[in-house]
Each structure stands twice: as structure tokens, then as C-alpha cells.
Amino acid sequence: MRNRGFEVCKGYEDKNINLPKRQTAHSVGYDIEAAEDAVIPSLWKLVMSGKEVKPTILKTGVKVYFMEDEVAYIYNRSSNPIKRGMVFSLGTGVFECDYYGNESNDGEILIPFYNFFPVDINIKKGERIAQAVFQKFLKVDVDEANGERKGGFGSTE
């Protein structure tokens, strides 16, 4: 029986994607890597140039599966804001078990960043950009949720 883990998403099978892993025996988070090279533009450069300010969404090429009474939280790496000016546009990513394999993006973990440094940030494929942490969650006594997920990222808005 499978409890929780990571898989390579459809379309990335031949892209040499590394599945997330913990770096030390006492690590809580599983480090997630970028699936491709990307540039996160400086927020300040965007503002000064009058261009639209929106987060840069980094692809990971991986999806996560876990039990129905669990959640996968996606957190920024602690070094990103300090060393690189990279902050999550959403604070913390929350993944429910029904996001896995959804029809719009196969459940790919997508990570939106802002860059608060005055220079653009270059991300290389395979660079660790975030971490996943699994946790159990509780429901209230009268829980009447019965909807079904129809899409991927941000689909339950």
C-alpha cells in the first residue's frame, strides 16, 4: 500500500527530474528542485519600468500523493529570501490529496515567487527552490464538503 511520496509528472519522463528528498536524517522537509532554467525578474525593475507585476511560476515536474487525512505543505527554503530575495507569492502552498493527477496539470507542484532584490535571479534546472512537509489534519464534527476537484493550480477559488 502506498502512503505518501513523489512521482514525475506526465511530460517530464525524459527530463531527468529528481524526486524530492530530505538532505539530513533530521530534516523535516523534502527539497524540491526546479524542473527547468528560469529567470525571476526583480520586482523593483518591473515597477520602475511600468510592467505588470506578477509572480513567476517555477515548474518542478513532480507531483505528490498522500493519504486522505493528510496535507502537503510547500514552504520556501529559508535561504531564499535572505540570500536571493525570493519570497513565495502565496505564503505557504497547501496541497490536498485530490490535486494529485488532476486533468489540467497532472498535479504538478508549481511554485510562484516574487524577487525583492534589485537584480533578476537566474534559477538553474535542478536547483533546490522549496520544500514539502506532510502533516495530518482534522475535520470538524459537521463537515458537509462533497465537491470534486475539476482542475489544477488555484482551481478551488
Question: Burial level of 124, CB count in 10 A (0-12/13-18/19+)?
Answer: exposed
Asked whether residue 150 is assigned to any structural domain, the reply reads no
Question: What's the pLDDT tens digit per position in 118-136?
Answer: 999 999 999 999 999 999 9
Asked whether residue 20 is assigned to any structural domain, the reply reads yes
Q: Which of 65, 98, 84, 70 is nearest to 130 (CA)?
A: 84
**Residue 56 near residue 62, CB atoms below 8 Å:** no
Q: What is the pLDDT of residue 90?
A: 84
Question: What's the pLDDT tens digit per position in 39-88?
Answer: 999 999 999 999 999 999 999 999 999 999 999 999 999 999 999 999 99
| Mean pLDDT over each residue of the chain, to the nearest integer | 92
For the chain, the farthest-separated pair of C-alpha atoms sits apart, in whole angstroms, at 54
Higher pLDDT, 20 or 155: 20
What are the respective helix, strand and coil percentages of the chain, to the nearest 5?
A: 10, 35, 55
Residues 61 and 9: their CA atoms lie apart, in Å, by 5
- Reported as a pLDDT band with limits 50, 70 and 90, residue 145 is confident
Asked whether residue 61 is assigned to any structural domain, the reply reads yes
pTM (2 d.p.): 0.87
Q: What is the pLDDT of residue 152?
A: 56
Asked whether residue 157 is assigned to any structural domain, the reply reads no
Structural domain total, the chain: 1
Residues 73 and 131: their CA atoms lie apart, in Å, by 8
Which residues contact residue 45 at a Cβ distance below 8 angstroms, ignoring those fewer than 6 apart?
A: 118, 119, 120
Asked whether residue 144 is assigned to any structural domain, the reply reads no
The whole domain housing 110 covers 5-136
Lowest mean pLDDT among 71-80, 94-103, 142-151: 142-151
CATH code, domain with 80? 2.70.40.10
- Reported as a pLDDT band with limits 50, 70 and 90, residue 156 is low
Helix residue spans in 36-106 (DSSP H): 43-49, 79
Asked whether residue 30 is assigned to any structural domain, the reply reads yes
Asked whether residue 97 is assigned to any structural domain, the reply reads yes
